[in-house]
Amino acid sequence: MAQKLIPFDDRDGFIWFNGQLVAWREAKLHVLSHALHYASAVFEGERVYSGRIFKSREHSERLARSAELLGFQLPFGVDEIELAKAETVKANAIVDGYVRPIAWRGSEQMGVSAQASRINVAIATWVWPSYFPPEIRAKGIRVTMSKWRRPAPDTAPTASKAAGLYMICTMSKHAAESAGYQDALMLDWRGQLAEATGANLFLVINGEVHTPTPDCFLDGITRRTVMELARRRQFKVVERAIWPEEMAKAQEMFLTGTAAEITPVGEVDQYRFAPGPVTKALIEDFERLVRAPA
Ligand SMILES: Cc1ncc(COP(=O)(O)O)c(C=O)c1O
């Protein structure tokens, strides 16, 4: 089914760009931007539910922390970013959608060193319904193992939501899609289960909720929310090192992330799962929470 793509540089609306709203098509940067050549960029992905950004402040704080991990400071404080996001959502009349703040080193200096480069910040927002097609999501997505591994924390700033860390995610996702799957799972540098290409993972083993310890990949805001919801349901939550063979013992598996929300997994190569009672209960609780009045 061919879907008509609306290019992201040719849309109506407004983008917040270094302190002010500009017309969507005018939010441009130069081809000699440091970030494009050397991946000196950090970003966020957030969802708007019923006009409100879920866990907005946590995302703004993570953006600032991600930048610091890459050695730069945002030229705007968390409070200013909060106001800017609200202004952008309002200007674009987004009720249910997605917010993408990004900060990057500019074009003042070219070469590995970029000490004199300006730090830029932009915020865009758009309607983005479901990360995976709803009909596939209902029975669980098909996932395959990636050949790429999450790097060790002393080889990359793995706690940062940094653009450079997504190079292997895109390669993994493309390989999976080309082979007929919806996503790929990545092991970490030790060979333990890490995460999917843009979401964290959970296994349900005999009613317990198990998830890998995030010591070399993003400790997702949705992941932490789901762990809290599971505890409220009196499910035992176990955060630990998980080996891929342990998928054979799991009855349910799901992914969590701002874009993916809670997405059931139907299969990972030879392993099969069903979107069972634990996954369904957590989806229900999550949907209620994101739309709960402040
Ligand atoms: C690689 C990766 N891991 C995990 C997550 C989940 O993070 P969060 O729940 O904060 O969106 C994301 C999505 O942002 C991601 O891109």
* Pairing verdict, β 261-268 and 141-150: parallel
Instruction: Indicate whether 2 pLDDT > 70.
Output: no
H helical segments located in 70-206: 78-91, 134-139, 167-178
134-290 maps to CATH 1.10.1520.10: no
Average pLDDT over residues 23-33: 97
Q: Which of 249, 232, 243 is nearest to 289 (CA)?
A: 232
Average pLDDT over residues 178-204: 98
Average pLDDT over residues 32-56: 98
* Distance between first and last Cα of the chain: 39
Q: What's the mean per-residue pLDDT of the chain? A: 96
Residues whose CB is less than 8 angstroms from the CB of residue 158 and which lie 6 or more positions away in sequence, other chains included: 150, 151, 152, 165, 216, 217, 218
Dist CA 273 CA 139 (whole Å): 9
Dist CA 115 CA 101 (whole Å): 22
Please tell me the pTM assigned to this model.
0.96
Average pLDDT over residues 53-71: 98
| 161 annotated active-site | yes
Q: Which atom of ligand 1 is nearest to the CA of 200?
A: 4
Q: Which atom of ligand 1 is nearest to the CA of 166?
A: 1
Average pLDDT over residues 29-54: 97
Taking only the tens place, the pLDDT of each residue in 87-108 is 999 999 999 999 999 999 999 9
Q: How confident is the model at residue 3 (pLDDT cuts 50, 70, 90)?
A: low
Comparing 14-126 with 134-290, is the CATH topology the same?
no
Residue nearest to atom 16 of ligand 1 (CA): 198
Q: Is the CB of 194 under 6 A from ligand 1?
A: no
Residues whose CB is less than 8 angstroms from the CB of residue 262 and which lie 6 or more positions away in sequence, other chains included: 222, 226, 254, 255, 256, 279, 282, 283, 286
Dist CA 189 CA 187 (whole Å): 7
Residues whose CB is less than 8 angstroms from the CB of residue 123 and which lie 6 or more positions away in sequence, other chains included: 15, 16, 81, 84, 85, 88, 99, 100, 101, 102
CA of 47 to the centre of ligand 1 (A): 12
Q: Which amino acid type is present at position 290? A: V
- Name the DSSP letter for residue 245: G
Taking only the tens place, the pLDDT of each residue in 225-261 is 999 999 999 999 999 999 999 999 999 999 999 999 9
Instruction: Indicate whether 122 pLDDT > 60.
Output: yes
Domain boundaries defined on the chain: 14-126, 134-290
Q: Out of 55, 85, 161, 173, which one is annotated catalytic?
A: 161
> Percent of the chain beyond pLDDT 90?
93
Residue nearest to atom 4 of ligand 1 (CA): 199
Residues whose CB is less than 8 angstroms from the CB of residue 222 and which lie 6 or more positions away in sequence, other chains included: 199, 200, 256, 257, 258, 260, 261, 262
pLDDT of residue 1: 44
Phi, psi of 146 (to 5 degrees): -85, 155
Q: Which atom of ligand 1 is nearest to the CA of 223?
A: 9
Average pLDDT over residues 47-74: 98
CA of 191 to the centre of ligand 1 (A): 20
* Pairing verdict, β 183-188 and 141-150: parallel
- Name the DSSP letter for residue 2: P
CA of 274 to the centre of ligand 1 (A): 23
CATH no., domain 14-126: 3.30.470.10
Dist CA 256 CA 259 (whole Å): 8
Task: Judge residue 150's burial from the number of C-beta atoms within 10 Å of its C-beta, 0-12 exposed, 13-18 middle, 19 or more buried.
Answer: buried
pLDDT of residue 76: 98
Taking only the tens place, the pLDDT of each residue in 130-188 is 788 888 888 999 999 999 999 999 999 999 999 999 999 999 999 999 999 999 999 99
